[in-house]
Amino acid sequence: MAIHTLRRRFAAVGTVLGLGVALPFAVGVTPAYAQAQLDITKTHSGDFPRGGQGIFTITVSNPGDEPTRPAGTRMTDTLPAGLTGTSLVITQNTTGSAVGCFLNDARTRVECETGGPIDAGGNYTVEVTVSVATDAPCRVTNTATVIDIEGGLSASASDTVNIPGPNCNGGNGGNGNGTSILPISLSGLIPTFNTNNNINSPGANNTNNQNVRVNAP
């Protein structure tokens, strides 16, 4: 009887010890921390013609697994020189909140705000139509930024656009500013010699005094 009782006691201790080892592993698993995120993309299609129009497409999203803060978000986009905003169109909105966009009085700055948080996985897209000046630069880079109004989250995206023109690459072969691609001007530094004495070459002597001598082998 004593032997059987001792065996039962060891078995009970072993069971308790087994649970003591296994239990922390089962209870100690912590799920990944859930949080909101902000992301922004900015794209366009093709070159923008001088004197014509172009369209930027801006998408703001929350790829996280929690909504952004209740105060909402703000997206700003200051247009580069040579571009002026003409219209804004929100093409989709799955944020769970209202989105409002407007241009400033000079039509050089775009601003969009959500009236509340952006839901997890939510987004909105706005198309910005711009007018291109006839003297716009050959290439411009436009950057848009989105922030959480209460702070803590932000993102930005840039988009470079080609604006073809007569002084741009592919036109007269310049560097886009209508200037020489060489570091110095060679005008007047390399004289042109005229052996026929019938053209007055600038900066050169038109007198031909060449002596040609052939040495026999």
Q: Tokens 């948080």 sit at which residue?
A: 117
d(CA 24, CA 10): 22
What's the pLDDT at 151? 84
Strand segments (E) across 3-153: 39-44, 53-61, 73-78, 83-93, 99-103, 109-114, 123-132, 139-148
Is the pTM above the cut of 0.85?
Answer: no
Two structure tokens written together for 142: 């436009």
pLDDT at 32: 59
Distance separating alpha carbons of residues 113 and 102, to the nearest angstrom: 9
Looking up tokens 């031909």, which residue turns up?
208
Predicted pLDDT at 166:
87
From first to last of its 217 residues, what are the pLDDT tens digits of the chain?
554 544 444 444 444 434 444 444 444 444 457 899 999 999 999 999 999 999 999 999 999 999 999 999 999 999 999 999 999 999 999 999 999 999 999 999 999 999 999 999 999 999 999 999 999 999 999 999 999 999 889 999 999 999 999 888 754 434 444 433 344 344 444 343 343 444 444 444 444 444 444 444 4
Residue of 161, 178, 167 lying closest to 49 (CA atoms):
161
**Is 62 in contact with 124 (CB distance < 8 Å)?**
no
Q: Are 147 and 89 in contact (CB under 8 A)?
A: no
Fold of 39-162: Immunoglobulin-like (2.60.40)
Opening angle at CA 31, ends 28 and 34, nearest 5: 150
What burial class does residue 72 get, using C-beta atoms within 10 Å of its C-beta: 0-12 exposed, 13-18 middle, 19+ buried? buried
- Interior angle at CA 69, CA 64 and CA 71, nearest 5: 145
For residues 199 and 56, give the distance between their C-alpha atoms in angstroms, rounded to a whole number. 56
